[in-house]
């Protein structure tokens, strides 16, 4: 029960912006996250949080070092394997919601299940259940532009959960919301963590939200500056 689901080992990430210019963004980063942990990553703007999140989310590969995702070294996976793993294992929630504008809330939540080959009826039922879980059951046919920011984010959360991901990655999920709505969204994450045992990683600039998680990892200039454990959580 206590094994790592995420194991980032001595990872470096460089971006090449035309030879000979290279930017080293992550420097010798190692981070293990246990199954069912809820942690946060904090740090100044530009410190490398999203770059690390992209590696953890298998959206990008490290330049150097290893990343073992649920026991599988990602360097041994083809791009196709990696995208299948991503679609079934990982849910993403971003600051800007990233909903498809022409699709209803229901269709937005159904889409990852369509890609995963889930049949029409099962897709519909699951999407309805998830929209109910996030308190959006009375808005399932609304288009994104007919929803408030907090409502859009709740749809995005339902979508992130549609393939029962073991891991949910949250990149500033409350960054566009007022503090009350942000707190409500945060409570949905606590509920998911408690009821589904999902491993959750939250990137945030909000210390109050970070303090609600079991471990706070601080990144500075591309390296891990320190980690704080909230033993009471
Ligand atoms: N594809 C890329 N090519 C070149 N540089 C990049 C690329 N992606 C990110 N960077 C640089 O890497 C650095 C870290 O970016 P990153 O988005 O990881 O920071 P962050 O900590 O998430 O910042 P913020 O809190 O502002 O979102 C920045 O200086 C950014 O310009």
- Is pTM beyond 0.90? Reply is yes
CA of 222 to the centre of ligand 1 (A): 10
Which among 19, 25, 27 is the best mutation to test ligand 1's pocket, defined by most ligand atoms within 8 Å of the CB?
25
Ligand 1 binding pocket includes 18 (Cβ within 6 Å) = no
Torsion of CA 209, 99, 113, 76, to 10 degrees: -70
Ligand 1 binding pocket includes 25 (Cβ within 6 Å) = yes
Contacts of 20 (CB under 8 A, 6+ apart): none
pLDDT one-digit tens code per residue, 131-157: 999 999 999 999 999 999 999 999 999
Show the domains of the chain with their CATH numbers: 4-229 (3.40.50.300)
What is the percentage of the chain residues whose pLDDT exceeds 70? Answer: 99
**Phi, psi angle pair for 229, to nearest 5°:** -100, 130
What pLDDT band is residue 2 in, cutting at 50, 70 and 90?
A: low
Distance (Å) of CA 182 to CA 7, 175, 185: 29, 8, 5
ipTM of the complex: 0.95
Q: For position 1, what pLDDT does the model report?
A: 46
Question: Which of residues 116 and 218 earns the better pLDDT score?
Answer: 218
Average pLDDT of the chain, as a whole number:
94
Nearest to 218 by CA among 9, 24, 48: 48
Say yes or no to pLDDT of 218 above 50: yes
What is the percentage of the chain residues whose pLDDT exceeds 90? Answer: 91
Ligand 1 binding pocket includes 222 (Cβ within 6 Å) = no
Which residue puts its alpha carbon closest to atom 3 of ligand 1? 15
CA of 48 to the centre of ligand 1 (A): 6
Render 87-154 in DSSP notation, one character per residue: HHHEEEEETT----TTS-HHHHHHHHHHHTT--HHHHHHHHHHHHHHTT-GGGTT--GGGS-HHHHHH
């Amino acid at each position: 029960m206590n094994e790592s689901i995420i194991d980032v080992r001595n990872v470096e990430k460089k971006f090449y912006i035309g030879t000979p210019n290279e930017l080293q963004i992550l420097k010798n980063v190692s981070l293990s996250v246990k199954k069912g942990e809820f942690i946060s990553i904090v740090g100044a703007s530009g410190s490398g949080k999203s770059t690390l999140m992209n590696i953890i989310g298998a959206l990008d590969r490290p330049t150097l070092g290893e990343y073992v995702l649920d026991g599988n070294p990602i360097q041994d996976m083809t791009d196709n394997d990696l995208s299948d793993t991503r679609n079934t294992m990982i849910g993403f929630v971003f600051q800007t919601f990233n909903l498809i504008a022409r699709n209803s809330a229901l269709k937005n939540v159904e889409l990852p299940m369509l890609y995963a080959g889930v049949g029409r009826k099962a897709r519909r039922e699951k999407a309805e259940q998830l929209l109910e879980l996030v308190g959006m059951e009375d808005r399932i046919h609304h288009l994104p532009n007919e929803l408030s920011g907090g409502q859009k984010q709740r749809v995005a959360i339902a979508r992130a959960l549609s393939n029962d991901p073991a891991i949910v990655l949250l990149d500033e999920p409350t960054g566009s919301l007022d503090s009350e709505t942000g707190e409500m969204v945060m409570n949905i994450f606590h509920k998911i963590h408690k009821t589904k045992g999902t491993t959750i990683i939250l990137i945030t600039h909000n210390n109050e939200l970070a303090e609600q998680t079991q471990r706070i990892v601080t990144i500075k200039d591309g390296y891990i500056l320190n980690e704080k454990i909230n033993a009471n959580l």
